[in-house]
Amino acid sequence: MAVGLFCVIILASICQHQFFFRSMTTSVLMHTAPTGALYRHAVALTPKARMHLSNSAMLNHVSTNVSRINACAQWFRAAWTAPIQVTVCLIILLIEVLTLG
């Protein structure tokens, strides 16, 4: 039983690390689209609009929006699978407790 539990934990850790690697890769790939769109928008601003929005403010807007998109891509799957994982773990625990007693 202990060896099986150890193998399951190792497998779960490998799968979770693979998931984080893929989600971070996806978020890096998703980084380019909004950055390019916001950059094109910034270049197309009129001189009058540029007086109200400095380069540093535009850079701040771009980096804030892109970091939010990256965080969403990274944590989206973990957020909706967490209740499923907890439910499965509780069911397994309940089955094990009931079979012991």
**34-46: per-residue pLDDT in tens?**
778 877 877 787 8
What is the residue extent of each domain of the chain?
A: 2-100
Which pair of tokens denotes residue 55? Answer: 């380069």
Please say whether the beta carbons of 58 and 39 come within 8 A. Answer: no
Q: What is the DSSP letter of 8?
A: H
Q: What is the DSSP letter of 46?
A: -
| H helix runs in the chain, sequence order | 2-43, 47-52, 55-100
Identify the pLDDT of residue 101. Answer: 66
- Please tell me which residue, 27 or 101, carries the higher pLDDT value: 27
pTM for this entry: 0.49
Identify the pLDDT of residue 90. Answer: 94
Identify the pLDDT of residue 88. Answer: 92
Task: Report the distance separating Cα 25 and Cα 5, nearest Å.
Answer: 30
Q: Tens digit of pLDDT for each residue in 42-89?
A: 778 788 877 887 777 877 878 888 888 777 877 787 788 889 989 999
